[in-house]
Amino acid sequence: MEDSLLKLKNTNTKDAFRYGYLLNKMFPYIRAVLSRSIILILLAIPLGLLDGVVAFSLRPYMDYVVNGNEAQVFTFQGYTIQLQSFFIKFIPFAIVVFALIQGLLKYLCNYLTEWTGNTMSNKLKIDLFKKLTAMDTKFYDINSSGLILSRFLSDPDQASKKLIETIKTFILSIFELLALVGVLLFNSWKLAIIGVGVMAIAITPVTLIRKKIKKVSNETMVVAGDMTTNFNETCAGNKIVTAYNLQESQNHKFEKQVKAQFNLAMSLTKRVGWMSPIMYFICSIGIAIVMNYGNSLILSGEMTAGSFASFVTSLLLLYKPTKTLGLTLTNLQGTFVSMARVFELFDLIPEIKNKPNSLELKNVGGVDFSHVTFEYVKDLPVLKDFNLSVKPNETIALVGNSGGGKSTVVNLIPRFYDVKSGSIMINGIDVREYDIVSLRNSISFVFQDNYLFSGTIKENILMGKPNATEAEIAKAVELAHLDEFLGTLPEGIDTVVGERGASLSGGQRQRVAIARALIKNSPIVILDEATSALDNESEAIVQKALDNLMQNRTVFVIAHRLSTIHNADRIAVLNEGELVELGTHDELISKPDGRYKYLYEMQFA
């Protein structure tokens, strides 16, 4: 097993620069919103142009006001345009109308941006979640919850909403810029060269700091992931935190993370914060030059006052789209980084998957382990040449030292992991040949600490068989010895159990889990330390429930308390990943130097 194949990276991946690859991956999501995106872009064009129109209209108006001319005449490249004073008087009203149109377009544009962005992001999140539920047990072993969560919290939004937003802003700013530069040129090309030149100098710092932003945002992601893990652990492990008085150290850990985040934010501000003032400063120099030079142009009659007013207005309006365009590249880079992170998760290939032409598992017979070796970590074998044949409807107990590999043996049957070599067979066929869903449908698990989902007891039981009838539910509740307990609850089976079933006792949780397994009614049952968290009294009642579950099935039972496995048909003793003894209780207990005899006497001496 190669760990790195399922390991998410903490930071940006090199993929963030494979634009073609990423866009190709993104394309299905873009296609789903394509028509509205095109409308959006088409709307952004007039929206961008309108600023220029407003600036442009200032020229005839100002000239009209300043000179009191009845009719305005301007020539442009040989064409003569004459504006009647009648129209000129209407310019203020026209500006209001334009603002109205602009407002309407803006509204439509924003609406479409939100719609397309969210639609894309949702689709991405749903697919990402599907990917998550399809991942192997191993994926969850090697990736922290914080790291996984970080792929959901902001990346899908950044990869899609931000992308749409950036494209829209880009189009808008380009046309805003074009229109305004057009107005500048129209008014005075000499001044325009100065104005645009200064603007170009002003935005260069924006493009220079991109690398720095990237580095800091990388580090921020790592800290944010650690923080999420800390949150999860504090919630999930709150009892341990309380029991071991770990509050101080948890607080300290969190404070350190907050501080690290603060430092990163500040270092970004330090690096980026000077940009805006500098841009303003450079621009102010430009405007000073323009005003000076413009003054002389007006005096020499080369330019009218209206034309100058229109020019300066355009130049001021030009600042925003220029700055935005400067940031577009940074933003776009950000969305590509997010895309790379999203598709990194998408591209992970679960190791455990169906073979082509997989078989449907039905009529489960015996389970055979043949020369099974297995390791979680490379070159650290956990099972070594493990052989065991379990007959149909046999109850086999696995005992042995802690860490000896008992849980590992049973985890291999439903393919939580795959063997390294050898094979596990059901009905004489390798489990890897079976359709995974049918394989897992044939197996019920009861663990020491069973996970209950937030919701009602009934919902938790129904997870074993979603379409169960009321009669089946009642039967499972009865066999799991839950009926008496449910009778004491005002809401009965519809009682909400809270996250992880926190509001139930260990024995109650265990019996809910048994009811879930009972209703699933699968031919193979695996009990991994199912009673070891309970006191004697609850163990007795849970044991009764388990006895019901074990009837007429092939059962693997793991228990440290050897009293609970007395009734097993056979007992397999594992030591350090090897099967050392196999036989009935009576056979094993009579072996003079037997391992089982030793374990048994240890417990009952």
Ligand X SMILES: Nc1ncnc2c1ncn2[C@@H]1O[C@H](COP(=O)(O)OP(=O)(O)OP(=O)(O)O)[C@@H](O)[C@H]1O
Strands 443-446 and 524-528, how do they pair? parallel
Q: How far is the CB of 137 from ligand X (least distance, A)?
A: 7
Q: State the DSSP string of 43-57.
A: HHHHHHHHHHHHHHH
Contact of 465 with 519, CB cutoff 8 Å: yes
Contact of 558 with 528, CB cutoff 8 Å: yes
How far lies 511's CA from each of 81, 129, 517, 561, in Å? 90, 30, 10, 19
Q: Does 465 bind ligand X (CB under 6 A)?
A: no
Q: How far is the CB of 266 from Mg ion (least distance, A)?
A: 47
Phi, psi (degrees; rounded to nearest 5) at 389: -115, 120
Contact of 180 with 314, CB cutoff 8 Å: yes
Start-to-end CA distance of the chain, whole Å, equals 43
Q: How far is the CB of 331 from ligand X (least distance, A)?
A: 40
Nearest residue to 361 (alpha-carbon basis) of 426, 407, 306: 426
Q: Which does 405 bind (CB under 5 to 8 A by kind): ligand X, Mg ion, none?
A: ligand X
Q: Does 406 bind ligand X (CB under 6 A)?
A: yes
**Binding residue for ligand X (CB under 6 A) from 243, 299, 377, 605?**
377
Helix (H) or strand (E) holding 228: helix 210-236
Three-class SS of 355-416: CCCCECCCCCCCEEEEEEEEECCCCCEEEEEEEEEECCCCEEEEEECCCCCHHHHHHHCCCC
Q: Does 378 bind ligand X (CB under 6 A)?
A: no
Q: How far is the CB of 403 from ligand X (least distance, A)?
A: 4
Q: How far is the CB of 331 from Mg ion (least distance, A)?
A: 50
Q: Does 173 bind Mg ion (CB under 5 A)?
A: no
Q: How far is the CB of 558 from Mg ion (least distance, A)?
A: 6
Q: What are the tokens at 549?
A: 């579950």
Strands 79-84 and 443-446, how do they pair? unpaired
- Cβ nearer to Mg ion, comparing 405 with 523: 405
Q: Does 447 bind ligand X (CB under 6 A)?
A: no
For Mg ion, what does the binding mask look like between residues 395 and 414, x meaning CB under 5 A?
Answer: ------------x-------
Of the listed pieces 27-35, 191-199, 404-412, 428-436, which binds ligand X according to CB under 6 A? 404-412
Q: How far is the CB of 529 from Mg ion (least distance, A)?
A: 6
Q: How far is the CB of 588 from Mg ion (least distance, A)?
A: 20
**Binding residue for ligand X (CB under 6 A) from 363, 402, 421, 552?**
402
Q: Does 323 bind ligand X (CB under 6 A)?
A: no
Q: How far apart are CA 229 and CA 555, in angstroms?
A: 36
Nearest residue to 344 (alpha-carbon basis) of 44, 489, 135: 135
Q: How far apart are CA 474 and CA 482, in angstroms?
A: 10
Q: How far is the CB of 528 from Mg ion (least distance, A)?
A: 6
- CA 201-307-309 angle, to 5 degrees, is 70
Q: How far is the CB of 138 from ligand X (least distance, A)?
A: 7
- Cβ nearer to ligand X, comparing 476 with 568: 568
Contact of 520 with 465, CB cutoff 8 Å: yes
* Amino acid symbol at 8: L
Q: Which does 402 bind (CB under 5 to 8 A by kind): ligand X, Mg ion, none?
A: ligand X
Of the listed pieces 113-121, 252-260, 403-411, 464-472, which binds ligand X according to CB under 6 A? 403-411
Q: Does 408 bind ligand X (CB under 6 A)?
A: yes
Q: Does 77 bind ligand X (CB under 6 A)?
A: no
Q: Does 484 bind ligand X (CB under 6 A)?
A: no
Q: Which does 422 bind (CB under 5 to 8 A by kind): ligand X, Mg ion, none?
A: none
Q: How far is the CB of 383 from Mg ion (least distance, A)?
A: 13
Q: Does 133 bind ligand X (CB under 6 A)?
A: no
**Binding residue for ligand X (CB under 6 A) from 229, 338, 407, 450?**
407
Q: Does 531 bind Mg ion (CB under 5 A)?
A: no
Q: Does 404 bind ligand X (CB under 6 A)?
A: yes
* Strand, coil or helix: 264: helix
Nearest residue to 120 (alpha-carbon basis) of 224, 218, 33, 39: 33
Helix (H) or strand (E) holding 82: strand 79-84
**Binding residue for ligand X (CB under 6 A) from 3, 70, 114, 141?**
141
Of the listed pieces 237-245, 399-407, 504-512, 597-605, which binds ligand X according to CB under 6 A? 399-407
Of the listed pieces 41-49, 327-335, 405-413, 588-596, which binds ligand X according to CB under 6 A? 405-413
Q: Give me the helices (H) in 144-209, please.
A: 145-153, 155-187, 189-208
Q: Does 335 bind Mg ion (CB under 5 A)?
A: no
If binding means CB under 6 A, how many residues of this protein chain bind ligand X?
Answer: 11
* Interface with Mg ion (CB under 5 A): 407
* Interface with ligand X (CB under 6 A): 141, 376-377, 382, 402-408
